[in-house]
Amino acid sequence: MSAFQGTRMNPSKFHRSQLKFLAFLIPLAIFMALPIVYIFFHAFKPIDELFAYPPRFFVDNPTFQNFVDLFTKTNDTGVPMSRFLFNSVVVTLIVVVLTVIISTMAGYALSKKNFRMKKAIFEINTLALMFVPAAVMIPRYLLIDELGLINTFLVHILPLLAMPIGLFLVKQFIDQIPDELLEAARLDGASDFQIFVRIIIPLVKPAIATIAILSFQLVWNSIESSSLYVNDEGLKTFSFYMSTLTSTVEGNNVAGQGLAAAASLIMFVPNLIIFIILQSQVMNTMAHSGIK
C-alpha cells in the first residue's frame, strides 16, 4: 500500500486534514449567502438608511415599516397585496398536494405492476426530464386558450401537475420496496388501494417530501401563468406581483427597493423553512436519483 492516505468520505468527526476543504467551502458559502443576507438586511431598513449614501450593507435601526407598507399597498388597479399572497398560498397548496398524489400513484403503477407499455412510458418520462416548458410557451398558450382556461384560477394549477422529475424520483424509490411485502399484503386480502395507502405511501415518505419541495419551488416561484394566461388582476399571484416591483426599483425609486426586498424575503423564507424541515428526507431520496 502506498503511503498516501485515502480520502475519508463522510467522516464522523472533525480532523485537521479537513481544514483544506473548509478553507475552500466556508468562504464560498459566505460569498453565496451574501445576496440572501443582503435581502434580510435591506427588508428591515428604514427609509433614511435605504437612501443612505454610500449604501450600507448592514441595517442599523431595523424596522417593519417596509412590510407594513407592502401589506397596505394596493397595485395600480386597486388590488391589495394580500390578495396576491392569498392566491399564491391557495394555488401552492393545491398544486403540491395534487402533484404528490398523482406522481406517487403513477410511480406505484410503473414500479410494481406489469403491463404493456410500462417500459415505454417510463422511457418517455425520462426523456421528458429534459423538457423545458419555456420552449413551448406558444403552443401551450394556444392550448390553454382552446381549453378555455384563460383567466381562470385553474390555469395556475393544471399545467404544473405532471412533473416528470417527481414521477422519476418516486418510481426509483418505490423500486426499493421488496415485491414480497406487497405479495404478503395481497395474500392477506388487501386491495390495490389499501396496499397503496397503507404500505406504499408510508414507505416512500422521503420521496414524497422531495416531490413536495420541488413542486413547491416550482409553483411558488412561477410567474408564467400570471403573466401569460391571466389578465384579471385579482387572479394573479404574489410571485408575479413581486416581479412587477422590479420595474418600480428602476429609475432610482429607493423607497420601492425596501418594498421589493421585503417581498423577496416573503418569497424566500417559506422555501428555506420547508427545505430545512425536509432536508434529511430529500438526501435520502437523492441517493436513489441516479439515471441508469
Partner 1 sequence: MKKKPNKRDYSPWMFLAPYIIFFTTFIIIPVAAAILLSFTYFNAIETPTFIGLSNYVGLITQDEVFMQKILPNTLTFALIVGPGGYILSFILAWALAQVPKRMRTVLALIIYSPSMTAGVAMAVVWTIIFSGDETGYLNSLLLTMGVLLEPIQWLQSPEYLMKIMIFVTLWGSMGVGFLAMLSGVLNINTEIYEAGYIDGISNRFQEIIYITIPSMKPQMLFGAVMAVVGTFQAGAIGVALSGANPTPQYAGQLMVNHLEDYGFIRYEMGYAAAISVVLLIVVYLFSKVAWRLFGEKD
Please state the closest distance from residue 41 (CB atom) to partner 1, in A.
11
Please state the closest distance from residue 144 (CB atom) to partner 1, in A.
9
Terminus-to-terminus CA distance in the chain, angstroms? 33
Decide: is 255 part of the binding site for partner 1 (CB under 8 A): no
Decide: is 24 part of the binding site for partner 1 (CB under 8 A): yes
How far apart are alpha carbons 107 and 113 in whole angstroms?
10
Please state the closest distance from residue 247 (CB atom) to partner 1, in A.
6
C-alpha cell of 144?
390553454
Decide: is 10 part of the binding site for partner 1 (CB under 8 A): yes
How far apart are alpha carbons 201 and 198 in whole angstroms?
6
* Choices 58-66, 75-83, 88-96, 155-163; region in contact with partner 1 by CB under 8 A: 155-163
Decide: is 120 part of the binding site for partner 1 (CB under 8 A): no
Note the helical H segments in the chain: 19-43, 47-51, 65-72, 81-112, 118-128, 137-146, 164-174, 179-187, 192-194, 201-203, 205-221, 224, 238-249, 254-286
- Compare residues 71 and 141 and give the one whose CB is closer to partner 1: 141
Decide: is 253 part of the binding site for partner 1 (CB under 8 A): no
Sign of CA dihedral 265, 268, 273, 274: positive
Q: Residue 207's CB: how many other CB atoms inside 10 A?
A: 28
How far apart are alpha carbons 35 and 43 in whole angstroms?
12
Decide: is 176 part of the binding site for partner 1 (CB under 8 A): no
* Choices 65-73, 80-88, 229-237, 273-281; region in contact with partner 1 by CB under 8 A: 273-281
Applying CB under 8 A, among 108, 211, 219, 237 the residue interacting with partner 1 is 108
Residues 6+ apart with CB under 8 A from 112: 174, 177, 179, 182
- What is the SS3 assignment for 80? strand
Applying CB under 8 A, among 45, 92, 159, 209 the residue interacting with partner 1 is 159
Applying the rule CB under 8 A, the residues between 197 and 236 that interact with partner 1 are 214, 217, 221, 223, 228
Decide: is 32 part of the binding site for partner 1 (CB under 8 A): yes
Decide: is 11 part of the binding site for partner 1 (CB under 8 A): yes
Please state the closest distance from residue 86 (CB atom) to partner 1, in A.
18
Binding mask 58-97 for partner 1 (x = CB under 8 A): ----------------------------------------
